[in-house]
Amino acid sequence: VLPLGASKGFGVGWLLDRLGVDPAACLALGDGENDVEMLRLCGLGVAMGNAGPPALAAADAITAPNSEDGVARAIERFVLRPRGLTA
């Protein structure tokens, strides 16, 4: 149970604002309906392969399921590899 108006998207937006970071420069990963606002807020929203329909629809990309190291794969694909930081 969350207070009225509280969400992951609100929390991420609040933090980014305080840090002076453009949401377009952020990556969000999620698998549930409670992640939709956050996935839409960030410049790149990535749904896990095991995500429900709302998260899949809100995402810009889909990675492997949680059980198949989806978070690590997304970080490698979207953060490390574009910067030439993988072997």
CATH code at 72?
3.40.50.1000
Can you give the pTM of this predicted structure?
A: 0.88
Average pLDDT over the chain, rounded to whole?
Answer: 93
Sequence-distant (≥ 6) Cβ neighbours of residue 36 within 8 angstroms: 9, 30, 54, 55, 58
Asked if residue 57 has pLDDT above 90, the reply is: yes
In a domain, 6, yes or no: no
Beta bridge partners of residue 27, listed in sequence order? 44
Instruction: Kindly give, in sequence order, each residue whose CB lies less than 8 Å from that of residue 60, ignoring residues fewer than 6 positions away.
Output: 39, 44, 45, 46
**41, part of any domain:** yes
Q: What's the domain count of the chain?
A: 1
Domain hosting 61: range is: 24-83
pLDDT per residue over 23-44, tens digit each? 999 999 999 999 999 999 999 9
Average pLDDT over residues 64-72: 97
Q: Is residue 5 part of a domain?
A: no
